[in-house]
Amino acid sequence: MAFYIAKHLRSNVRELEGALKKVLAYSAFHGQQIALDLAKEALKDVIGSVNRQITVEGIQKTVAEYFKIKVADLFSKKRTRVIVRPRQIAMWLAKNLTSQSYPSIGEHFGGRDHTTVLHAVRTIDQLRLKDETLNHDVHVLEQVLKG
């Protein structure tokens, strides 16, 4: 059981300690002996969120579905508002939810320049302060992507 926890939670000692305490509390509450199955059940919410890796491709798919456009539109050269705003939101999410660099994100969006990604991130940051609908959309997308 300790190996299972250590294998799935690698960030720091406090997280490991917290996971162990959660398993102990779960065991005491349910009156069950500590075993691997019990640890998996007790930690399913913690380990599930850690193992869910957010990718640029996943962001693109989620944003396209949310705004009812094609993923290919996010790569295209189209500059209509219906396409541009979701593309900018997807770039903003990619920068804020992944460890990708601006040039890398640009490559994922049809080979766009890193300055285009930077502009998108700044634009969405500014619009979120003024536009409650856009802010809500971004928040919902973040929650969906984070699981």
For 79-119, the pLDDT digits (tens) are 999 999 999 999 999 999 999 999 999 999 999 999 999 99
With 0-12 / 13-18 / 19 or more C-beta atoms within 10 angstroms meaning exposed / middle / buried, residue 139 is exposed
Task: Match 């720091």 to its residue by tokens.
Answer: 12
What is the set of domains in the chain, with CATH numbers? Answer: 2-51 (no CATH), 56-146 (1.10.1750.10)
The model carries a pTM of 0.69
Q: Can you give the pLDDT at residue 48? A: 64
Per-residue burial over 69-81, b = 16 or more CB atoms within 10 Å of its CB, e = otherwise: beeebbeeeeeee
Q: Say yes or no to pLDDT of 51 above 60.
A: no
R_g over Cα of the chain:
20
Cα–Cα dist 74/53, whole Å:
21
